[in-house]
Structure 1
Amino acid sequence: MVREAMIVSAQPEASEAGARVLMAGGNAVDAAITAALVQGVVDPQMCGIAGFGNCQIHMPSKGVHTCIDFHGKTPLSATPEMWENLIEGETRDGFGFVLKGNINDLGYQAITTPGSLKAYGEAISQYGTWDWADIVAPAIAQADEGFRVRPHVYFWWVNGADHGRVPVDQRLSFSSIGKRSYFNSSGNLKKIGEKVHIPEMANTLRKIAKQGVESFYTGEIAEQIASDMKTNGGLLSYDDLASYSTTVTEPLTGDYRNYRITTNQPPGGGVMLIEMLNILENFDLKKIGHNTSEYIRVVAEAMKLATADKDRHVGDPQFVDVPLSKLLSKDYAKSVSERIMNGEKMTVERYGSNEPKQTTHVAVVDYDGNCVTMTHSLGMPSGVITDNLGFMYNGCMAVFDPRPNRAGSIAPGKSRFSSLAPTIVSKDGQPFIVLGAPGGTQIAMGILQSVVNVIDFDMNMLEAVSAPRFSATSNLIDVMNRIPSYITNNLEGQGYEIARSALSFGIAAVHGIRIQDGKLDGGADPGHDGVALKV
């Protein structure tokens, strides 16, 4: 029995809002959704009510274990071939495509039908205990107050997009509200510690608190959104909003060294996580040694294989036949592990370059042992802010494959693949680790290493999310700067190309909670601004 409660998120303001809910008697769902709404206020390019995501809810005493998938869906006016002749490139890690004029990346045509607010409302109505207006109230208060620019927010504003992507300052200045809110009187981006205040966002949240979620999908707000989209050539319409629905599924399950892994179904990234764990189960990782050159080689090859399989097979299961039985097969994993043992190098063809991603995460465990892990995002934000509404829309069209007849191709009403993988690891039938991460295609890679750090190397949660990470979502191996060069030199001697980051922390930003003997310990990735709060 859990005797404590904890929340961890990438923003201190959100963690505090959720902690206050727990202290006031709210359950894990109440706390998670309250925190998520605050995240959309204080990190408005990472997530928000016009975003997408996935939420795993586990309430053991009530027999509830479910995932709410709320990926953004392609507007009904989109067609598979509409951008086929505009392709200029693809990012190295497969996060998206670069088109002429950045039409899929910046502006009104970059927007998919948002699912976040719909999912927040459904989670509260079905599994929460608080009134909706009380859930939204902390976000309204935060929007009224504004927020001070934190270090990671500023870092992303300055460094968050390159290699063919539209720079972040162009996204922030795309709308009149953005120009006024994110830049100072001299026309420069606001610095760390300066305040951002968007009163239109507070007013929109007030309407949502009073009128309910449907105001965004069929009511006054929906009409404002649809009018703005039509005026500016957007793909999104009122019919897209009115017809949007979440997808509720059972978690995708796997096993790793007698631990049960539960994560999300496609089009999310859970399948990659379980596939990689199945491969690594055939290696004595502890004997190989944490972050040795051989360890990095083995894990990187598992990452490359899972990435290639994802590119080839994984998409929206309503449109694509995803061969889960093969991808999650222990026999398949065994055959792959034998190839890795024999020194074979997997191939993931890409062109372009790596870049950070725009997502965030919240994880909660309450006093009754209920668990919530939710990753939500704007993708690369579109830059669009409708006058009088205040929030920025997602830019998820950039991730769809503009080439027809592929797993990730555009189709009306289709959800895009994402690497989101909110995960719960159970031991002897009880939740043991509750975790997730932002980080684009690096998400599954960061979660993988954190799970292995706890299970194979006996790390606590903070140690697990803080240890140096690496990733291979192309033929390169990306490493963070705390991995010594004498380790990577050995890999280069074996013919591997290493891309060393100047950053000390990265490869997703994992946030998690470990549950042991009724006690909780949490970890917020040091590379972001977050915090774990125990109450």
Structure 2
Amino acid sequence: MGNLKDSTRVVILLLAAAVLLSIKSSLYTPSEPETSEHLDEESGEFEADRRNSAGIGVATDNPDATGVGMDVLRKGGNAVDAAIAVSYSLGVTEPSASGIGGGGIMLVHPPEGHSDEPSVYDYRETAPSEESMPDSKIGVPGLVKGMDVVHSDYGTLSMEKLMDPAISQAEDGVSVSENLHGRLSDAGYRVEGEDTSLFFPNGMALPEGTRLKQESLADTMSDISEHGPDAFYEGKIAAGIAKKSDISKEDLEDYEVVKTEPIQGSFKDYDVLAPPPPAGGVMLVQSLQMAEHLKLEQTAASQADFIERTSEINDKTYSNRYEHVGDPDFVDVPTDKLISKDYTEELASDVSTDSLDGEKLTSGEKDKDGNTTHFVIVDQNGMMVSVTNTISDYFGSGEYTNGFFLNNQLDNFTDSDKSPNEYEPGKRPYSYISPTILSKDDKPVIGIGMAGGRRITPVLTQVLSRHVLLEQPIDEAIDENRAHKNLDKKEIYLEGRFPKKTVEELEDRGYSIDETQTSMYFGSVQSLIVNYEKSEIYGGSDHRRYGDWRSR
């Protein structure tokens, strides 16, 4: 009798082991057969074969979201899988910055030897069918559809598995970060209403370290997880969006993701891949190529020279963008010409401090802080993904429905009928967001991007110039003091940590200096770098928003 029980127990154990192995193996479908995977017996996790991979890495604006991305990668998901999970997680952990009420851009660089070319997925908000600009400035949200489309092309784990971490975070609650507490304290007047009382118990912003539970958001995401994007673009959720905005049922049903090729420039030994118009890629490629042509490394000994020269570059690229760049589905944008070496060298030849006399460049545009979130992911096969998601301002429009905030992205249109960026139904407004990848020999090497509105392209130029031209380690380049010139006048905003000598030098050159802006004003950079020779991944995460990068 005892032998029979033992035999039965052995059979049960063998069957259970077989089921567990089946579940484990179903979690991973390698995108390239030459990359082998093995199961770590101690952790029960998949690891990359170090002979074919530099490892895995994630850099985001939030440690909890970074943990979600790393967990997906450790379980065999690829970089796109992790990017989807992180996108939904950041909408829970930092609802002031991004979420399903907004949109974004994802740049996917497949691993070396992959049959696919690098691709840009633009799932930014579009103008509704209203003939004139809606007062709400709310555009048709694209994030949910964007995640679905990129998952169809690259996903290996089920959408349910990828959304589960964010749903759990919303149900169980996340710890309120110092960043989120600050945003709630500053923007409470914009998000008033009974539905948002969970953020303001007793009328006060949730203190840092308290638990934020978002049950309505968990229900919404569970619905999307179970029924797909139709759950968002039709039915109850869509009705809630329409009630809070000028967006119609047809606007939501007709929303489409734009998949296209990245624009490509060069910067020293790298190919620079960035999103095409109407995103900020043209400005960034022009800025980097101008920095190289003007030999920005020669300013290394003088902070004042570095600040003045990068200000010159930004003024020139901003003016050029304002004149030429809009949604290419509506206006003719000469993108190839704008990013050509000949053209950017011509722009650079016209750069001088005389151009910084305060010429008004911003007619019809608002200078807002802007708010986004950026992250970079590298997987076990060498795929790199660089993503910027946004709801525009902090908490977007402030309108809240079904657990999420709606964007105010239409505020990025230019108030001028002479601009390629004027409002039109169905059009995508200009955006400075620039998720970027620098590659060598078709291998993705540097993934980088930033949150920060109008500061995105000039600060990325400062950081990449320090890293590539001045040869600073990426974390030091990110930590360096930042500067940004007011485009309306000869005034420079300094982060407030510059030496007195630098301030005096700039003042002697005719600039007024403003050191009152907080570090948050100067944005948040996230970056990962792959060193193929040493088989390692390292990075830099901005302390200005308590970012976090990890690799293994």
Deviations 1:326-365 (A, max 9, x none): 4223223223323335754373434898553221011100
Aligned structure 1 segments of 4 or more residues deviating by more than 6 angstroms = none
- One of 287, 292, 304 as aligned partner of 2:303: 292
Structure 2 residue aligned with 1:239: 250
Q: Structure 2: which amino acid aligns with 1:40?
A: G
Shift of 1:369: 0.5
Contact (CA 8 Å) 1:53, 1:116: kept in 2 or not?
Answer: yes
Structure 2 residue aligned with 1:447: 460
Deviations 1:487-516 (A, max 9, x none): 132122112233224535652211000111
- One of 317, 338, 345 as aligned partner of 1:327: 338
Deviates more, 1:308-317 or 1:266-275: 308-317
Q: Please, which runs of 5 or more residues in structure 2 have no aligned partner?
A: 1-51
CA distance in 1, matches of 2:103, 2:268: 32
CA distance in 2, matches of 1:433, 1:337: 25
Contact (CA 8 Å) 1:303, 1:473: kept in 2 or not?
Answer: no
CA distance in 2, matches of 1:243, 1:466: 43
RMSD: 2.0
Shift of 1:473: 5.2
Q: Secondary structure at the residue paired with 2:188?
A: helix
Deviations 1:34-88 (A, max 9, x none): 0110000111120001101110001124233100011211110232xx58xxxxx
**Identity over aligned pairs, percent:** 29
Correspondences of 1:123-138 after superposition (within 5 Å): 123-138=150-165
Structure 2 residue aligned with 1:214: 230
Shift of 1:275: 0.8
Deviations 1:143-199 (A, max 9, x none): 00122221112222334xxxxxxxx112221x3211x111122x1222212222221
CA distance in 2, matches of 1:291, 1:365: 35
- One of 177, 184, 187 as aligned partner of 2:195: 177
Contact (CA 8 Å) 2:54, 2:530: kept in 1 or not?
Answer: no
Structure 1 residue aligned with 2:174: 147
Residue 528 in structure 1 maps to residue 545 in structure 2: yes
Deviations 1:199-249 (A, max 9, x none): 1111111111101122111344324433x24xxxx3101100000001111
**Structure 1 residues 204 and 290, CA, compared in 2 at 3 Å: closer, same or farther?**
farther
CA distance in 2, matches of 1:183, 1:504: 25
Q: Secondary structure at the residue paired with 2:522?
A: coil
- One of 358, 366, 377 as aligned partner of 2:379: 366
Contact (CA 8 Å) 2:484, 2:493: kept in 1 or not?
Answer: yes
Residue 156 in structure 1 maps to residue 183 in structure 2: yes
Structure 1 residue aligned with 2:288: 277
Deviations 1:441-485 (A, max 9, x none): 111122212211221122222122111121235133222112223
Q: Structure 2: which amino acid aligns with 1:63?
A: S
Shift of 1:439: 0.7
Shift of 1:519: 1.1
Deviations 1:352-402 (A, max 9, x none): 98553221011100111100010000002111112xx11111111222223
**Structure 1 residues 343 and 383, CA, compared in 2 at 3 Å: closer, same or farther?**
closer
Q: Secondary structure at the residue paired with 2:373?
A: strand
Residue 349 in structure 1 maps to residue 355 in structure 2: no
Shift of 1:302: 0.3
Deviates more, 1:187-196 or 1:292-301: 187-196
- One of 88, 93, 97 as aligned partner of 1:37: 88
Q: Secondary structure at the residue paired with 1:170?
A: helix
Structure 2 residue aligned with 1:253: 264
- TM-score normalised to structure 1 length: 0.87
Q: Secondary structure at the residue paired with 2:510?
A: coil
Contact (CA 8 Å) 1:468, 1:504: kept in 2 or not?
Answer: no
Structure 2 residue aligned with 1:70: 123
- TM-score normalised to structure 2 length: 0.85
CA distance in 1, matches of 2:348, 2:185: 41
CA distance in 2, matches of 1:470, 1:290: 16
Q: Structure 2: which amino acid aligns with 1:70?
A: Y
Contact (CA 8 Å) 2:316, 2:351: kept in 1 or not?
Answer: no
Shift of 1:291: 5.7
Q: Greater CA radius of gyration, 1 or 2?
A: 2
Q: Secondary structure at the residue paired with 2:544?
A: coil
Structure 2 residue aligned with 1:402: 415
Q: Please, which runs of 5 or more residues in structure 1 have no aligned partner?
A: 84-102, 104-108, 160-167
CA distance in 2, matches of 1:169, 1:224: 22
CA distance in 1, matches of 2:349, 2:247: 48
Structure 1 residue aligned with 2:312: 301
Contact (CA 8 Å) 2:367, 2:454: kept in 1 or not?
Answer: no
Aligned positions, number: 491
**Structure 1 residues 263 and 57, CA, compared in 2 at 3 Å: closer, same or farther?**
same
Contact (CA 8 Å) 1:506, 1:527: kept in 2 or not?
Answer: no
Q: Structure 2: which amino acid aligns with 1:73?
A: T
Q: Structure 2: which amino acid aligns with 1:68?
A: Y
Residue 379 in structure 1 maps to residue 430 in structure 2: no
CA distance in 2, matches of 1:502, 1:473: 12
